[in-house]
């Protein structure tokens, strides 16, 4: 850890908190972050040369593992032709066609440079289309650092949000209604009270930013019904779930058609990409066709587009999904068994290749129940794994993920480390 520690000390003198995104600083689990030097397949190597089985996968994008040969080849090829022109290229057309083929609800779409931008732009066009201002989001849902979505639930009778970050104007937070996930009655009530003012509901179809929480039927179906009846738009934020469970979105498997969808992470193949799109009549409001302004110097960047397209092509051809889900099922089953044997309270939430270990007796179905977990115990579990070469998310309310590159051996190494880690808790 010597080199990592030295790099972190130097970074803190120039980068805010030593990092470019807060969760990387390990504040949630304590200790200093590990600086990574390289990645190959399911493995990372840190600045001191120690290797890890990676379950963070850059928080989602690296579904094929690190430095996948096809992705490297595609990005290198694009890079040699020039990395940015500020003009349309064939690469963005091909990725757009691939995305729409997999998610037909995205009749028209646009690429951005981050998931945050995609969400921000989707909300703007939703507000323009409906002529309304309010947006419903769910407590514990994360949609990037969009001002009006950095809100906490209001207190008492009001569902109108209050800022959850300094610097967010109270007036903007009040454009957001913050409701509990999986709570149909709360959504019905919000629509009864504010129906004609609600532009959109934005939701992660499988929540992954309060830890993994599956939607309980008929939660999403009810949101679809309520938005349709009230002429509001339903936005599925599939920045994590897009291409994570199958070739397509969570919407593809659930057969629920949102009006707008946001993507990011996997579609960028490890490069900075976001994407939003939906029904043609809605998206046609975006400039240059319509009055909703949205732009980006590096949007649709050809290197990123080539990497994203290569990623989708490999996913389509190799179909790694069943295998990834099966490996996750094995890990989850073993973890539950080991924890129960030790008498530890544990809930391991699990959807296909994503899972979260919560140390609590309470089944986790929304943010309130997620918060009953012992986050200090998670921190000790995390560090015990890290020490043994297994890199889990350095924060409780995040999803651990499998890639197509994880092997049986990685699984064994992980379970062995977990057995020792749990014994020490």
Ligand X SMILES: *Cc1c(COP(=O)(O)O)cnc(C)c1O
Residue positions annotated with a catalytic role: 142, 237, 265
Task: Name residues contacting ligand X, limited to 253-292 (CB under 6 A).
Answer: 264, 274
Which range of residues in 234-242, 337-345, 374-382, 401-409 is near ligand X by CB under 6 A? 234-242
Which range of residues in 1-9, 128-136, 233-241, 337-345 is near ligand X by CB under 6 A? 233-241
Of the candidates 18, 39, 115, 270, which one interacts with ligand X according to CB under 6 A?
115
Q: How many CB atoms lie within 10 A of CB 327?
A: 21
| Nearest to 91, CA basis, from 310, 365, 274 | 310
CA angle 101, 208, 126 (to 5 degrees): 55
- 140 binds ligand X, rule: CB under 6 A: no
Of the candidates 121, 209, 353, 414, which one interacts with ligand X according to CB under 6 A?
209
Of 124 and 143, nearer to ligand X (C-beta) is 143
In the complex, the smallest distance separating the C-beta of residue 172 from ligand X, rounded to whole angstroms, is 18
331 — alpha (psi -120 to 50), left (phi > 0) or beta?
alpha
- 144 binds ligand X, rule: CB under 6 A: yes
Of 115 and 180, nearer to ligand X (C-beta) is 115
In the complex, the smallest distance separating the C-beta of residue 182 from ligand X, rounded to whole angstroms, is 16
SS (H, E, C) 197-223: HEEEEEECCCECCCCCECCCCCHHHHH
- 33 binds ligand X, rule: CB under 6 A: no
Q: How many CB atoms lie within 10 A of CB 100?
A: 15
In the complex, the smallest distance separating the C-beta of residue 336 from ligand X, rounded to whole angstroms, is 25
Which range of residues in 41-49, 101-109, 113-121, 356-364 is near ligand X by CB under 6 A? 113-121
How far is the C-alpha of 381 from the C-alpha of 370, rounded, in Å?
17
In the complex, the smallest distance separating the C-beta of residue 420 from ligand X, rounded to whole angstroms, is 31
Tokens representing 62 are 């690296």
CA angle 361, 366, 368 (to 5 degrees): 70
| Nearest to 281, CA basis, from 266, 292, 269, 270 | 292
Of the candidates 204, 259, 398, 410, which one interacts with ligand X according to CB under 6 A?
204
| Nearest to 150, CA basis, from 139, 354, 268 | 139
In the complex, the smallest distance separating the C-beta of residue 1 from ligand X, rounded to whole angstroms, is 27
How far is the C-alpha of 139 from the C-alpha of 369, rounded, in Å?
11
In the complex, the smallest distance separating the C-beta of residue 115 from ligand X, rounded to whole angstroms, is 2
Of 116 and 159, nearer to ligand X (C-beta) is 116
Q: Which residue has the tokens 């109270």?
A: 170
- 248 binds ligand X, rule: CB under 6 A: no
Contact status, residue 64 vs residue 57, Cβ threshold 8 Å: no
- 142 binds ligand X, rule: CB under 6 A: yes
Of 103 and 377, nearer to ligand X (C-beta) is 103
- 398 binds ligand X, rule: CB under 6 A: no
Give me the residues paired with residue 400 across strands.
355
- 366 binds ligand X, rule: CB under 6 A: no
- 61 binds ligand X, rule: CB under 6 A: no
The beta strands (E) that lie in 95-195 are given as 108-112, 134-138, 151-152, 162-163, 176-179
Of the candidates 66, 127, 143, 383, which one interacts with ligand X according to CB under 6 A?
143
Tokens representing 37 are 């030097």
In the complex, the smallest distance separating the C-beta of residue 222 from ligand X, rounded to whole angstroms, is 20
| Nearest to 187, CA basis, from 215, 208, 146 | 215
Which range of residues in 23-31, 112-120, 190-198, 410-418 is near ligand X by CB under 6 A? 112-120
Contact status, residue 5 vs residue 32, Cβ threshold 8 Å: yes
Of 96 and 210, nearer to ligand X (C-beta) is 210
In the complex, the smallest distance separating the C-beta of residue 201 from ligand X, rounded to whole angstroms, is 14
- 148 binds ligand X, rule: CB under 6 A: no
Q: Catalog residues that contact ligand X under the rule CB under 6 A.
A: 114-116, 119, 142-144, 204, 209, 237, 239-240, 264, 274
């Amino acid at each position: 850890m010597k080199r990592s520690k030295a790099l972190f000390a130097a970074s803190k003198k120039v980068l805010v908190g030593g990092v470019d995104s807060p969760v990387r600083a390990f504040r949630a689990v304590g200790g200093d972050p590990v600086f990574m030097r390289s990645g190959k397949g399911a493995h990372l190597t840190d600045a001191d040369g120690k290797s890890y089985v990676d379950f963070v996968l850059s928080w989602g994008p690296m579904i094929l593992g690190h430095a996948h040969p096809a992705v490297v080849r595609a990005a290198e090829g694009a890079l040699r032709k020039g990395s940015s022109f500020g003009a349309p290229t064939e690469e963005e057309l091909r990725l757009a066609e691939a995305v729409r083929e997999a998610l037909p609800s995205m009749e028209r779409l646009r690429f951005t440079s981050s998931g945050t931008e995609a969400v921000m732009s989707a909300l703007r066009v939703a507000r323009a289309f409906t002529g309304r201002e309010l947006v419903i989001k769910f407590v514990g849902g994360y949609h990037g650092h969009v001002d009006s979505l950095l809100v906490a639930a209001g207190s008492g009778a009001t569902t109108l949000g209050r800022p959850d970050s300094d610097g967010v104007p109270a007036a903007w937070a009040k454009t957001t209604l913050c409701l509990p996930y999986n709570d149909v009655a709360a959504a019905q009530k919000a629509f009864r009270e504010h129906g004609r003012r609600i532009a959109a509901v934005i939701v992660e179809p499988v929540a992954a930013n309060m830890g993994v929480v599956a939607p309980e039927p008929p939660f999403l179906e009810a949101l679809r019904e309520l938005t349709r009846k009230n002429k509001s738009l339903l936005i599925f934020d599939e920045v994590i779930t897009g291409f994570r469970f199958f070739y397509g979105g969570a919407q593809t498997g659930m057969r629920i058609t949102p009006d707008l969808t946001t993507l990011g992470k996997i579609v960028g193949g490890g490069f900075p990409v976001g994407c939003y799109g939906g029904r043609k009549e809605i998206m046609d409001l975006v400039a240059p066709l319509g009055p909703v302004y949205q732009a980006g110097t590096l949007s649709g960047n050809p290197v990123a587009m080539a990497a994203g397209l290569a990623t989708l092509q490999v996913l389509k051809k190799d179909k790694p999904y069943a295998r990834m889900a099966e490996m996750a099922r094995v890990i989850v089953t073993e973890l539950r068994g080991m924890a129960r044997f030790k008498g530890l309270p544990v809930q391991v939430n699990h959807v296909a290749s994503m899972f979260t270990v919560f140390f609590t007796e309470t089944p986790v179905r929304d943010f309130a129940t997620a918060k009953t977990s012992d986050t200090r115990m998670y921190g000790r579990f995390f560090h015990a794994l890290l020490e043994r070469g297994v890199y889990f998310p350095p924060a409780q309310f995040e999803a651990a993920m499998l890639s197509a590159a994880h092997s049986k051996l990685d699984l064994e190494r992980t379970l062995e480390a977990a057995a020792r880690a749990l014994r020490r808790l």
